[in-house]
Amino acid sequence: MKTLDDLLSEGVSGRRVLVRADLNVPLDGDRITDDGRVRASVPTIKALVDAGARVLVAAHLGRPKGEPDPKFSLAPVAVRLGELLGTPVGIGTGTAGDGTVVLLENIRFDARETSKDDAERAALADELAAKADAFVSDGFGVVHRKQASVYDVAKKLPHYAGRLVLAEVEVLRKLTDDLRRPYVVALGGSKVSDKLGVIKNLLTKVDRLLIGGGMAYTFLKAQGHEVGGSLLQEDQVEQVAGFLKEAEERGVELVLPVDVLAATDFAPDAEHEVVATDAIPADRQGLDIGPATRELFASKLADAKTVFWNGPMGVFEFEAFAGGTRAVAEALVKSDAFTVVGGGDSAAAVRALGLPEDGFSHISTGGGASLEFLEGKELPGVKVLED
Ligand SMILES: Nc1ncnc2c1ncn2[C@@H]1O[C@H](COP(=O)(O)OP(=O)(O)O)[C@@H](O)[C@H]1O
Ligand SMILES: O=C(OP(=O)(O)O)[C@H](O)COP(=O)(O)O
């Protein structure tokens, strides 16, 4: 696989370089609440700028519906990237001058970016490739996506792995090649349908699986519990029932919440109470794991030698529902295991809750990408760089 250093040694002054970055940051209106992914993208972009390249950055924000939507504009990200680089970053379709950067507007405003149709994605990739002489893949958080600006464009241009992609893959290899047991994976968050898919393969690798966050309710339902208005992937309940059975057969300890904070609605000041998971009222939704679960999860993390955690345990953005995420994060900080936390929101939560970043062995920018790497799947955005 060729790397950014190979490209730099070929010489990039005056050349047009397209960088795919993952700048998918959490926003409150147009205020970035955590700029971790922007900061993580700086080393690659800065190296190119310093070498005099004309840098064009492609990135996405959220999941717009394949058409422009001001809510998902990357404009605030261009401003922050400019501050971090110490040189203004233009946004839009313009071309960059030598040693300057233009950030393309949210690439997912074009429906072809995420299309399942190879020809549609290839057409967008052609348009992107026409704007550049080389492609640097540095959006680790998105390398599990077979999308036009991640995968297809690499087939059209000389391609190189950026610093972030290389660094992330190197750390995650420790979790696959040099694993100390017990190996515990904790999963939460809200991208339930995406991430349920990885569990089947993870069951062949882990000793213990802790399930919290929005992920837990599909499991609780599969166990026969009612979950009220909680996040539920109804069409995957049966599949999850299969996971429960398989975990038992394999001797994998699958640990589910025993209590949750059940709220009247999805709001920071929602009325809420602690309820057992077999007694969630029909008119309530679980927005965090409860105190008994926090203790249970901490005890299940205490003897681990390797831990991977993706997905907040509750809606940590609301102070009242941040306790579960804090408890798991604190258990990792306390642990002397090799600890990796991955995911845009999980990494943001660690920082928002004021936990020391050096309390973790590695904070990865990718949640889904890390999980798919750990389950042993080939990541399309990495594989394509090897060809
Ligand atoms: N019980 C829950 N109900 C609804 N949303 C939840 C729940 N628990 C966690 N979340 C939400 O999950 C989101 C993060 O999920 P996800 O994107 O899967 O994580 P990551 O970005 O770390 O990979 C957070 O915004 C958080 O509020
Ligand atoms: O936020 C991301 O992934 P993550 O929540 O799994 O860390 C990436 O930017 C990928 O976004 P996507 O899951 O909408 O493809």
pLDDT at 48: 98
Q: Which of 298, 306, 272 is nearest to 286 (CA)?
A: 272
**Is the pLDDT assigned to residue 335 strictly greater than 80?**
yes
Dihedrals φ, ψ of 273, to 5°?
-145, 160
Pairing of strands 259-263, 285-289: antiparallel
**34, 190, 215, 233: residue to mutate for ligand 1 pocket, most atoms within 8 A of CB:** 190
Question: Which tens digit of pLDDT belongs to each residue from 9-45?
Answer: 999 999 999 999 999 999 999 999 999 999 999 999 9
Residue pair 109/122 in contact (Cβ under 8 Å)? The answer is no
Beta-carbon neighbour count of residue 265 at 10 Å? 13
Short-list 131, 107, 112, 111, CA closest to 122: 112
pLDDT tens digit sequence for 158-213: 999 999 999 999 999 988 888 999 999 999 999 999 899 899 999 999 999 999 99
The residue whose C-alpha atom lies closest to atom 10 belonging to ligand 2 is 142
Task: Encode pLDDT of 83-131 as tens digits.
Answer: 999 999 999 877 889 999 999 999 999 999 999 999 999 999 999 999 9
Could you give the C-alpha distances from 169 to 143, 153, 378, in angstroms and in order? Answer: 11, 21, 12
Determine if residue 62 is labeled as part of a ligand binding site.
Answer: yes
CA separation for the pair 248, 320 (Å, rounded)? 34
CB contact at 8 A, 385 and 323: no
pLDDT at 372 over 80: yes
Between the CA of 18 and the centroid of ligand 1 the distance, in Å, is 31
- Report the pLDDT value the prediction gives residue 197, as an integer from 0 to 100: 87
CB 255 within 8 A of CB 223: no
Please tell me the distance between residue 383's alpha carbon and the centre of ligand 1 in angstroms.
Answer: 28
Q: What does the alpha-carbon distance between residue 9 and residue 110 come to, in Å, rounded to a whole number? A: 34
Predicted local confidence at residue 236, as pLDDT? 96
Q: Please determine, for residue 57, whether its predicted confidence score (pLDDT) is greater than 90.
A: yes
Helix (H) or strand (E) holding 35: none
Q: What is the mean pLDDT of residues 358-362?
A: 96
- Amino acid (1-letter code) at residue 100: T
**Would you state the pLDDT for residue 307?**
97
Tens digits of per-residue pLDDT, 252-277? 999 999 999 999 999 999 999 999 99
Residue whose CB lies within 8 A of the most ligand 1 atoms, among 266, 280, 328, 345, for a mutation test: 345
Return the axis-axis angle of helices 192-202 and 237-250, rounded to nearest 10°: 20
Residue 249 has a pLDDT of 97
d(CA 279, ligand 2 centre) in Å:
33
Residue 282: pLDDT band (50, 70, 90) is: very high
pLDDT digit string (tens) for 2-14?
A: 999 999 999 999 9
Pairing of strands 134-137, 16-20: parallel
Residues with CB under 6 A from ligand 1: 188-191, 213-214, 231, 286-287, 310-312, 314-315, 317, 343-346, 367
Q: Relative to the CA of 342, which ligand 1 atom is closest?
A: 22
Q: What is 78-142 written as a DSSP string?
A: HHHHHHHHTS-EEESSPPP-TTEEEEPS-GGGSGGGG-S-HHHHHHHHHHHHTT-SEEEE--GGG
> 147: pLDDT confidence band, cut at 50, 70 and 90?
very high
Residue 191 CB neighbour total at 10 angstroms: 18
Kindly state the tokens that stand for 36.
């971790």
243 pLDDT above the threshold of 90:
yes
387 has pLDDT over 90? no
> 344, 37 in Cβ contact below 8 A?
yes
> Is 121 annotated in some ligand binding site?
no
Phi, then psi, of 168 in degrees rounded to 5: -65, -45
pLDDT for residue 332 is more than 90 = yes
Give the closest residue to 103 by CA, choosing from 75, 67, 61. Answer: 75
Rounded to 5°, angle at Cα 228 from 225 and 234:
70
Instruction: Find the helix or strand (DSSP H, E) in which 74 lies.
Output: none
Closest C-alpha to 309, from 260, 354, 364, 358: 364
Under the banding of pLDDT at 50, 70 and 90, the label for residue 315 is very high
**Interatomic CA distance for residues 302 and 84, integer angstroms:** 38
Q: Note if the bond before 182 is cis, omega within 30 degrees.
A: yes
Which residues are known catalytic residues? 37, 191, 344, 368
What's the chain's Rg over C-alpha atoms?
A: 21
Which atom number of ligand 1 is nearest to the Cα of residue 366?
23
Average pLDDT, the chain: 97
Interatomic CA distance for residues 52 and 97, integer angstroms: 9
**How far apart are the C-alpha atoms of 191 and 231, rounded to whole Å?**
10
Instruction: Write down the pLDDT at residue 94.
Output: 74
Helices 36-50 and 344-352 pack at an angle, to 10 degrees, of 110
> Hey, what are 141's tokens?
């958080």
- The pLDDT score that the predictor gives to residue 88 is 94
Rounded to two decimals, the ipTM of the complex is 0.98
Q: How far apart are CA 144 and CA 130, in angstroms?
A: 24
Residue 85 to residues 29, 165, 338, 376, Cα–Cα distance (Å): 23, 19, 32, 35
Distance CA 139, CA 343 (A): 12
